Every structure is written in C-alpha cells, then in structure tokens.
Amino acid sequence: MKKDVFLVDFWPKLVYTITIVNNKDNPLKKTILTDVDGVLLNWEYAFDIWMAEQGFKKQEGEEFVYGMHIRYGIEKSQAKKLIKTFNESAVMGFLPPLRDAVQWVTKLADEGWTFHVITSMTTQYHAKKLRIQNLNKLFGEGVFTEVTCLGTGADKDEALSVYKNSKMWWIEDKVENAVAGANAGLKPIVMEHGFNMDTNHGYHVAKNWEDIYQIVTS
C-alpha cells in the first residue's frame, strides 16, 4: 500500500489537495461516492431558517416539494439566486449533519472506507473552503479524500463520468442524479426524503446512514 498526495483539478474549477491510498487490485474498492446536501448535511433545515430570516414564508402544503420556487411561492429565477447567495454565505461552514450521518459515516471510515464527494453547491472559492471545513469538522480529517464542487444546481453527469463503470456506491437524494450515476455504471442508493418518496426508480432506498451501512457492507 502506498500513499500519494497530489492536486486534482476537476471541472468546473476545484483544486483541492487529496490523499489516496493506492490499491493495485482495485483502488476504489472501499470508496463511496456521495452527494452532500440532503445526504451528509441537512441543507434544507439551514436554508429554511435562512429564508425565514430573509422574510420568506413556505407555502402551505408545499413543505416537501423539491423545488424551492414552489415551496416559497416565488419565481424560479429568484429561487436560484437565493440558493446561490445562501450557498456562498458563511452559513456553509456550519451546516448540521443529516440524521445519523456522523455515527455511521465515521464507522465506515473506521472500517477502512473512504469517501469521494460531488456537490452542486457553487464554484465560489471561499464557499468551497467552507464546505470542506464543515465536512472535516463533523466527520474528521481524511474521511473525504476527494471533493468536487460544481456550479449551483449543476448536472453531475460529467463529474460522474470520471468514475464510469467503477461499480462504486453512489449516494444521492435527487433521483435524476441517481439515474445519471446508474447510467455511468455506478450503484445508486437514494436517501429518502418527502420529495422523492413517490418516485419509482428501482434503486436501493435508505432512510438514514445506518441503512446505507447495511447495504454497502452486506
């Protein structure tokens, strides 16, 4: 086993120092590819608080809708701008973990698993640093060995193509991104939320990280 430290430059523009343990048989054998918001971190909870502070109110009966423009009864373009502003704010360094993520992600890490992240938050430099800081603070240094930050709400097809046919586990809450992973030869697990419960996709579904642990280690 050998450790290499190098720089990775992923489109669109993230340079982050990473450490990978080389395994000649299969370097990704015990690596999990994962989204962040709605999977590792409770982005929705923090965003709803922030929106309330900006004077916005959720629409009655729309609490579990994925589209924030519908949830708050505003124009889609306005919602996108607000999300981008939120994602580039100092709050991004302090998002809380989702459900039992800390307990089970750290357990997987203790058992030799590492994690690669693909997150469509923003490509803004300071926000990316805050994201990495947030993850390291909650889960520990070295758990996330690669972090790829895409533009706010960006599709993940190109970033996922790096892992084409690797058969890695791919954890997502947005079904469209889970499908993109499956098309790239990955094994999706969909983190269950109110907005995706009624979607028929045929992939593994997890209510929490304990479920994910059971799936990936069985």
Q: Which helix (H) or strand (E) holds 21?
A: strand 14-22
| Distance separating alpha carbons of residues 109 and 144, to the nearest angstrom | 9
pLDDT at residue 199 in the model = 86
How many angstroms separate the CA atoms of 23 and 1, rounded?
Answer: 6
Full 3-state SS string of 190-207: EECCCCCCCCCCCCEEEC
Of residues 63 and 110, the one with the higher pLDDT is 110
Mean pLDDT of the 194-202 span: 91
Region 51-77 average pLDDT = 94
Separation of alpha carbons 122 and 147, rounded Å: 12
pLDDT for the residue numbered 217: 97
Beta bridge partners of 3: 21
Residue 27 has what pLDDT? Answer: 60
How much is the pLDDT for 64? 83
Domain ranges in the chain are: 2-42+93-217, 44-92
129 pLDDT higher than 60: yes
List Cβ neighbours of 197 (8 Å cut-off, separation of 6 or more): none
Model pTM above 0.85: yes
Q: How far apart are CA 107 and CA 157, in angstroms?
A: 29
Per-residue model confidence (pLDDT) at position 28? 72
2-42+93-217: CATH architecture: 3-Layer(aba) Sandwich (3.40)
